[in-house]
Amino acid sequence: MVRFNVRNVLTMEIFRQKGSDMEEKHQTLKELPVSERPYEKCEKNGTAMLSDAELLAVILRSGTKDQTAIDLATKVLSIDPFYEGILGICHTSREELQKIPGIGKVKAMQILCIAELSKRLASAKVEDKISFHSPASIADYYMERMRHLSREEMILIFLMERIKL
């Protein structure tokens, strides 16, 4: 037979309350202070003031019932142990992204499109005709495009006079 005294009942009540507190839902972005919300932070201070996770959270737009968009973005940024952070996005596949709870087909495709845009932006030139001044400038130009490849590739380029492509 179990005896209940005031001490046992109070202890059980404390554990019950702690348990119910732990079962409450996570804090949403709307519950964060305005100064910590990615959209408001971006609007007030500009995109340069956002962390990588906050930038990605703005693109993802929503999290899950258990995690905010920032939490989800943080998981995406830590998906590749070799290429940690934002560089890892360029080295991951749709299937790997979809293994993260909260990342479905659409969000995975959004992330991969962002990675592709960043690759293209890195290798974009303002000039209409690309002109190289040295072998190092040729290597720098193609390195941006090739550094994200998962296997080795060789490029053959034909140059006209004055090292024009």
The Cα–Cα gap between 61 and 83 comes to 24
Give the pLDDT band of residue 83 (cuts 50, 70, 90). confident
Mean pLDDT, range 28-49, rounded to an integer? 85
pLDDT tens digit string along 39-69?
899 899 999 899 999 999 999 999 898 999 9
Q: Is residue 99 located within the same domain as residue 66?
A: yes
- In the predicted model, what is the mean pLDDT of the chain? 79
Q: Is residue 40 located within the same domain as residue 114?
A: yes
Q: Is residue 89 located within the same domain as residue 153?
A: no
Q: Is residue 34 located within the same domain as residue 71?
A: yes
The Cα–Cα gap between 18 and 149 comes to 50
Is the confidence at residue 28, as pLDDT, over 80?
no
pLDDT at residue number 126: 52
Q: Is residue 145 located within the same domain as residue 108?
A: no
Report the domain count for the chain: 2
Q: Which domain holds residue 40?
A: 26-123
- CB contact at 8 A, 60 and 20: no
**To 10 degrees, the CA torsion angle through 54, 60, 64, 68?**
10
Q: Is residue 109 located within the same domain as residue 90?
A: yes
pLDDT at residue number 81: 85
- DSSP annotation of 102 reads T
Mean pLDDT, range 72-79, rounded to an integer? 94
- CB contact at 8 A, 111 and 75: no
- CB contact at 8 A, 57 and 73: yes
Is the confidence at residue 4, as pLDDT, over 50?
no
Residue 94 lies in a domain: yes
Residue 4 lies in a domain: no
pLDDT at residue number 3: 46
Residue 7 lies in a domain: no
Q: Is residue 105 located within the same domain as residue 138?
A: no
Instruction: Give the Cβ contact number of residue 20 at 10 Å.
Output: 9
Is the confidence at residue 30, as pLDDT, over 90?
no
Q: Is residue 68 located within the same domain as residue 113?
A: yes
Q: Is residue 31 located within the same domain as residue 68?
A: yes
pLDDT at residue number 121: 83
pLDDT tens digit string along 101-151?
999 999 999 999 999 998 888 777 655 566 677 788 788 778 877 877 778
Give the pLDDT band of residue 21 (cuts 50, 70, 90). very low
